[in-house]
Copies of this chain bind each other. A is one copy, B any other.
Amino acid sequence: MKALNQLIEQGTVTDPESARGRLLSKAAHLFKEKGYERTTVRDLAKSVGIQSGSIFHHFKSKEEILRAVMEETILFNTARMRLALDECKTSRDKVLALIRCELESITGDTGEAMTVLVYEWRSLSEENQKRILALRDVYEQLWITSLEEAKQDGYIEADTFILRRFLTGALSWTTTWFNPKGGLSLEELAEQALLLAIK
């Protein structure tokens, strides 16, 4: 939560208790459940108990809401990942931390928003795609750096470029099947995923 509070204070991320924040949270939920296109502005308004016209006091268009959902999620998860990396000693620890963080972001609180990020990409205008892409690059850089480090330390044999892409797919797909309250803990899942990368 340290990361979150800091970002809120900076104004980088919306306070989830505010009207705008509640809307974003509900939007992530609806966009995941029904898809962006099939979610109407009226649906969004209803979900937070206001009239549809009032939405446009907070966001100037429906797409703006989608962009905010995506943008804030990346910013938050990047910050969270940075904090986690800071506490790691070995490069093996770092890779595990990255996996754990990504799994948390996908299966935990920001899970719906992460799904939206993957599935609703095409609904973004080109301009907004570029904006998000720039943020995504920052996030990916953290991965690339740590994987390279682990490879130099001999933990990894495979091509790190390909490996990162396999991991991206494997981890993001967990949203479709992993239940954090089921028999398998997130920590165990992370360990299993680590096996994909490190022998």
B199:A196 contact, CB within 8 angstroms: no
Minimal beta-carbon separation of A60 from chain B (angstroms): 13
Interchain CB contact under 8 A, A122 and B196: no
Query: Is A10 an interface residue when CB atoms closer than 8 A count as contact?
Result: no
Cα distance A35–B72 in the bound complex, in angstroms: 24
Identify which of B37, B119, B123, B166 contacts A196 (C-beta below 8 A): B166
Residues of B within 8 A of A158 (CB): 192, 195
**B169 contacts A165, C-beta separation under 8 Å:** no
Residues in B whose Cβ lies below 8 Å from that of A178: 165
Q: Contacts of A172 on B, CB cut-off 8 Å?
A: 169, 173
A122-B34 in contact (CB<8A): yes
Residues of chain B within 8 A (CB-CB) of A159 are 192
Q: From B38, B157, B168, B171, give the contact of A122 (CB < 8 A).
A: B38
What's the nearest-Cβ distance from chain B to residue A148, in Å?
Answer: 17
Q: Which residues of B contact A157 (CB under 8 A)?
A: 195
- Check if A162 is an interface residue, CB within 8 A of chain B: yes
Contact among B35, B37, B165, B177 with A173 in the assembled complex (CB-CB below 8 Å): B165
The answer to whether A45 has its CB under 8 Å from any CB of chain B is: no
Q: Which 6 A-B pairs have the closest CB atoms?
A: A169-B173, A37-B37, A166-B170, A169-B169, A169-B170, A170-B170
